[in-house]
């Protein structure tokens, strides 16, 4: 039977059956229906038959509420079960179950196979990175035969109970949701400074449940005193029937002698206060940091005149009767006189509904596992039967078609045809194998031919790049030194040498260069501004605004040069160190025409593939070099270079010569120039001779068109090369 979204909370008391149906509407709990069915006799009376009275009450509940297809949660008295709370040591959360099982064996005085039990970590437990560091676990149990007895009346009425909960725990769910929700949602539990606690006293017919909670922690005890004790006291002392004593107890103020009635019941009042004081005293002895600020009383016995005032006076707490619920809506139910008159007895039902709706703090259940398993099997039986029927139908259909096909394809019918097919298959296989061999040979010959007769320009691309890079790296012009030769330290001191020494040439290919550029975009902007400032070519004075460079895209290579230079004389303020790299190396890769006159002419000359005797001059951009970047800003370090002209002093046999500082005019053993290392990168879009020639042809046509339009050719290109990013 399909369940609806509503929940019935049912409490089978000693004097009446209470039931409340609720549902969630926009995260608000709404009461839809209720029922209050009093038994003809109290279940604990000697002449009463509890099984028959409960069965009749459930039958009335079914008759008054047709269908009862909702989820059903019931309570059992607190003294029928066991509630234990313990603090496990810091442990992984997944190992809590093993600790609880061990604790259950220690706490439950029966074999676990004879007990229905469940557990839950309490609210406010501290869990970090999968470890329970400061937590408390609640263990709840009851004997299996007791659980079955509680479920028996519902089984007879064909009602499936989904949740079985102890009445004190249902009371906790009600108080936590109705009165402590803000605390539980907004506070972090601090065991050293806990929030104030409330005492909840539920006075039943034959017993009472006392609960102390601050929302995060619970302490619970059942007391063997209830409303019947007041009735029995009247029966004993005033010599009247039980029914008459019950009536006088409920209407004591209207009795002929109210004072006599209250005096007669005073011993029971005193016993109740004593039990409550003893329970609270024991709780305070085990939790000395707890602070109790109120007493909440529930149960129909609290309607007895003077009871609330007597408890407040003798216990010293502010007493509140739970005759209304702050967060329960549904005026169609709450405004009914019967509900208002008995509202104090619906606290447990309200707590059961909260658990069934999933908004209660504790969601354990004491329904035996074998019953849950039986229900799952019963729910799956129709689907299992349907699946088996579909399987049988499929097998039967498959057998029919297979048999029919077999009759048409018997070996005797197709024997000759199969022989022909096998023969033809063998013949076809031989030809396929021969065709495969010939196809492999053709593929090989095509590859060889393509390699021999293919475009040789692409094979020259890397040699052209390396030759071009080598040509555009600046080399200084030194007086008295033949171009292309390295001067000696005497001819040109190291700190006066413009030359760059390249120690590493690394490459990396990118299918899409855009992500690489995006990571270095800010560095490009900084380096571009420094270069423009150093070379004094920025056109900001003319009022031009630089256009944002979108950067390279598509397939490209990144070339990285690592090296060093010695042009680091500190007296050359602004021209040494990193500025020397920008002034010469960056300029050579961006626009060699801007290089200072103290370097050799840096023009890229590459052989003409069609006439190797001739060379063609290119700019770095024409061979695909763009976006040069001084990657890192380094500091100058002192190098040590051996002096080839140094001659060690003569030694005398057996006498050690102590090294001394070089005498003026003598050759030093080492030169100590200031060296700066650098990492330099640029983007290379691979090009060949034909592509470069085609680009020049298109550029010439564009310049010709611009001349016809009256614009000076090259203006736009120069603007973009200077005013924009590299």
Closest C-alpha to 32, from 20, 45, 14, 41: 20
DSSP classification of residue 684: E
Position 90 pLDDT exceeds 90: no
Q: Which residues pair with 140 in a beta bridge?
A: 83, 118
Lowest mean per-residue pLDDT among 29-38, 453-462, 603-612: 453-462
Other Cβ atoms within 10 Å of 181 Cβ, number: 16
Query: What b-and-e string marks burial along 648-661, b requiring 16 or more CB atoms within 10 Å of the CB?
Result: eeeeeeeeeeeeee
Rounded Cα distance, 9 and 16, in Å? 14
Read off φ and ψ for residue 632, nearest 5 degrees.
Answer: -120, 150
* Torsional sign, CA 115, 210, 305, 338: negative
Rounded mean pLDDT of 65-91? 86
Distances (CA, A) of 573 to 567, 581, 626, 675: 11, 14, 29, 16
CA geometry: angle 134, 139, 144, nearest 5 deg: 165
The CATH architecture that domain 7-367 belongs to is 2-Layer Sandwich (3.30)
473-476's contacts with Cβ under 8 Å and 24+ in sequence apart are 473/500, 473/502, 473/585, 473/588, 473/602, 474/498, 474/499, 474/500, 474/584, 474/585, 474/588, 474/595, 474/599, 474/600, 474/602, 475/499, 475/599, 475/600, 476/598, 476/599, 476/600
**What's the CA gap between 34 and 8, in Å, rounded?**
9
Q: Which CA distances in Å does 473 have to 351, 461, 492, 499, 584?
A: 85, 18, 19, 8, 8
Angle at 650 (CA atoms; ends 646, 655), nearest 5 degrees: 135
**Phi (first) and psi of residue 78, to 5 degrees:** -60, -35
Region 174-187: mean pLDDT is 87
All residues at 6 or more sequence positions from 505 whose CB lies less than 8 Å from its CB, including other chains: 466, 469, 559, 560, 561
Give the ranges where 520-574 is alpha helix by DSSP (H). Answer: 521-535
User: How many residues are given for the chain?
Assistant: 726
What mean pLDDT do residues 83-108 have?
85
- Find out whether 196 and 216 touch, Cβ atoms under 8 Å: no
Q: What angle do CA 432, 438, 444 make, to 5 degrees?
A: 135
Parallel/antiparallel/unpaired status of strands 131-134 and 292-298: unpaired
* Mean pLDDT score of the chain: 85
Per-residue confidence (pLDDT) for residue 723, from 0 to 100: 35
Query: Which strands make up the sheet holding 292-298, listed edge to edge?
Result: 218-223, 208-213, 197-203, 292-298, 318-321
| Residue 518 host element (H or E) | helix 514-519
pLDDT the model gives residue 453: 61
Whether the predicted pLDDT of 716 surpasses 50:
no
Distance CA 153, CA 157 (A): 6
Report how far residue 163's alpha carbon sits from residue 144's, in angstroms, rounded to the nearest whole number: 15
Element (H, E) at 635: none
Least confident of 6-20, 380-394, 553-567, 677-691: 380-394
And the tokens for 640?
């040590």
Return the structure tokens found at 71.
Answer: 């989820």
Q: Which residues are CB-contacts of 392 (< 8 A; sequence separation ≥ 6)?
A: none
Mean pLDDT of the region 106-122: 86
Greater confidence (714 vs 542) lies with 714
CA atoms of 480 and 461, how far apart (whole Å): 37
Per-position b or e across 240-268, b if 16+ CB within 10 A of its CB:
eeeeebbbbbbebeeeeeeeebbebbeeb
Residue 579 CB-half CA count within 13 A: 14
- Residue 546: the pLDDT is 45
pLDDT at residue number 409:
73
∠ Cα 501 506 508 (to 5°): 155
Distances (CA, A) of 544 to 372, 522, 527, 587: 81, 21, 20, 22
* Beta-bridge mates of residue 637: 675
Neighbours of 507 (CB within 10 A): 11
In this prediction, residue 547 has a pLDDT band, given cuts at 50, 70 and 90, of very low
Mean pLDDT of 617-641: 90
Contact 212, 235 (CB under 8 A): no
Beta carbons of 138 and 172 less than 8 angstroms apart: no
pLDDT of the residue at 726: 45
Instruction: Please write the tens of the pLDDT for every residue from 585-608.
Output: 999 999 888 888 888 777 898 988
0.85 cut: is pTM over it? no
DSSP state of 381: H
270-314 per-position pLDDT tens digit: 888 899 999 999 988 988 888 898 999 998 888 888 888 888 888
The tens digit of pLDDT for each residue in 466-485 reads 999 998 998 888 888 887 78
The reported pLDDT for the residue numbered 67 is 64
Do the beta carbons of residue 354 and residue 174 sit within 8 Å?
yes
Q: What does residue 453 show for φ and ψ, rounded to 5 degrees?
A: -100, 0
Mean pLDDT of the 614-623 span: 91
Instruction: Identify the weakest region by mean pLDDT among 80-94, 168-182, 537-551, 557-571.
Output: 537-551
Burial 138-147 (b: 16+ CB within 10 A, else e): bbbbbbbebb
Sign, Cα dihedral of 148, 151, 156, 161 = negative
Contact 39/153 with Cβ under 8 angstroms?
A: no
Q: What are 346's two structure tokens? A: 């619906």
User: Using alpha carbons only, what angle is made at residue 373 by residues 370 and 377, rounded to the nearest 5 degrees?
Assistant: 140
Q: How confident is the model at residue 717 (pLDDT cuts 50, 70, 90)?
A: very low
pLDDT band of residue 501 (cuts 50, 70, 90) is very high
Does residue 657 have a pLDDT over 70?
no
Q: Is 631 exposed, middle or buried (0-12, 13-18, 19+ CB in 10 A)?
A: middle
Mean pLDDT calculated for residue range 599-628: 87
Give me the percent of the chain exceeding a pLDDT of 90: 30
Do 142 and 329 form a contact (C-beta atoms < 8 A)? no
pLDDT class of 628 with cuts at 50, 70, 90 = very high
For the chain, helix, strand, coil in percent to 5 are 45, 20, 35
Q: b/e for 671-691, b at 16 or more Cβ within 10 A?
A: bebbbbbbebbbbbbbbbbeb
**What is d(CA 10, CA 73) in angstroms, rounded to the nearest whole number?**
6
Contacts of residue 659, Cβ cutoff 8 Å, sequence gap at least 6: none
Q: Find out whether 210 and 281 touch, Cβ atoms under 8 Å.
A: no
How far apart, in whole angstroms, are the C-alpha atoms of residue 706 and residue 251? Answer: 113
pLDDT of residue 720: 38
106-110, 347-351, 641-645, 688-692: range with highest mean pLDDT: 347-351
Apex 725 CA angle, 722 and 726, nearest 5: 80
């Amino acid at each position: 039977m399909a369940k609806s979204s509503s929940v019935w909370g049912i409490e089978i008391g000693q004097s009446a059956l209470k039931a409340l149906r609720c549902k969630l509407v926009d995260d608000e709990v709404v009461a839809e229906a209720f029922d209050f069915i009093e038994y003809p006799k109290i279940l604990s009376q000697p002449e009463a038959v509890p099984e028959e009275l409960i069965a009749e009450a459930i039958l009335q509940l079914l008759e008054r509420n047709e269908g009862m297809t909702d989820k059903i949660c019931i309570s059992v008295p607190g003294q029928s079960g066991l509630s234990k709370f313990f603090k496990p040591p810091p442990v992984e959360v997944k190992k809590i179950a093993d600790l609880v099982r061990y604790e259950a064996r220690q706490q439950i005085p029966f074999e676990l196979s004879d007990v229905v039990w469940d557990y839950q970590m309490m609210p406010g437990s501290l869990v970090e990175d999968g470890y329970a560091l400061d937590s408390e676990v609640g263990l709840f149990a009851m004997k299996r035969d007791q659980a079955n007895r509680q479920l028996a009346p519902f089984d007879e009425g064909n009602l499936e109970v989904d949740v079985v909960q102890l009445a004190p725990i249902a009371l906790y769910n009600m108080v936590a949701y109705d009165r402590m929700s803000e605390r539980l949602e907004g506070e972090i539990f601090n065991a050293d400074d806990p929030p104030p606690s409330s005492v909840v006293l539920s006075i039943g017919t034959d017993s009472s449940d006392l609960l102390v909670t601050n929302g995060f922690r619970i302490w619970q005890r059942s007391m063997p005193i209830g409303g019947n004790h007041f009735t029995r006291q009247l029966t004993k002392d005033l010599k009247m029937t039980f029914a008459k004593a019950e009536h006088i107890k409920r209407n004591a103020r209207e009795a002929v002698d109210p004072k006599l009635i209250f005096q007669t019941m005073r011993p029971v009042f005193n016993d109740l206060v004593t039990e409550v004081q003893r329970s609270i005293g024991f709780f305070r002895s085990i939790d000395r940091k707890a602070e109790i600020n109120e007493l909440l009383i529930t149960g129909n016995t609290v309607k007895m005149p003077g009871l609330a005032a007597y408890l407040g006076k003798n216990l010293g707490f502010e007493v509140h009767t739970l005759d209304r619920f702050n967060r329960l809506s549904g005026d169609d139910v709450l405004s009914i006189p019967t509900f208002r008159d008995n509202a104090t007895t619906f606290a447990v039902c309200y707590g059961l509904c909260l658990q069934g709706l999933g908004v209660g703090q504790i969601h354990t259940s004491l329904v035996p596992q074998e019953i849950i398993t039986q229900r799952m099997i019963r729910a799956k039986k129709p689907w299992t039967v349907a699946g088996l029927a579909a399987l049988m139908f499929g097998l039967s259909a498959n057998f029919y078609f297979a048999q029919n096909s077999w009759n048409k394809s018997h070996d005797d019918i197709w024997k000759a045809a199969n022989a022909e097919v096998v023969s033809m298959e063998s013949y076809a296989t031989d030809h396929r194998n021969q065709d495969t061999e010939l196809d492999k040979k053709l593929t090989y010959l095509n590859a060889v031919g393509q390699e021999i007769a293919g475009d040789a320009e692409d094979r020259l691309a890397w040699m052209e790049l390396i030759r071009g890079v080598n040509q555009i790296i600046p080399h200084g012009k030194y007086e008295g030194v033949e171009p292309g030769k390295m001067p000696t330290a005497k001819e040109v001191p190291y700190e006066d040498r413009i030359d760059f020494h390249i120690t590493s040439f690394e490459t990396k290919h990118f299918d899409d260069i855009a992500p690489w550029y995006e990571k270095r975009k800010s560095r490009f902007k900084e380096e571009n501004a420094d270069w423009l400032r150093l070379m004094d070519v920025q056109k900001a004075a003319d009022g031009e605004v630089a256009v944002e460079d979108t950067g390279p895209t598509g397939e490209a290579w990144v070339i990285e040069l690592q090296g060093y230079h010695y042009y680091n004389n500190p007296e050359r303020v602004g021209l040494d160190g990193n500025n020397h790299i920008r002034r010469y190396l960056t300029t050579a890769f961006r626009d060699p025409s801007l290089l200072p006159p103290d370097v050799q002419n840096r023009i890229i000359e590459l052989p003409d593939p069609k006439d190797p005797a001739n060379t063609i001059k290119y700019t770095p951009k024409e061979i695909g070099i763009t976006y040069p970047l001084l990657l890192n800003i380094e500091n100058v370090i002192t190098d040590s270079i051996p002096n080839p002209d140094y001659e060690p002093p003569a030694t005398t046999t057996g006498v050690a010569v102590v090294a001394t500082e070089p005498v003026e005019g003598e050759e030093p053993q080492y030169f100590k120039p200031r060296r700066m290392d650098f990492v330099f990168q640029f983007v290379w879009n691979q090009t060949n001779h034909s592509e470069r020639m085609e680009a020049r042809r298109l550029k010439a046509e564009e310049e010709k068109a611009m001349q016809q339009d009256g614009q000076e050719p090259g203006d736009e290109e120069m603007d973009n090369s200077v005013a924009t990013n590299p």
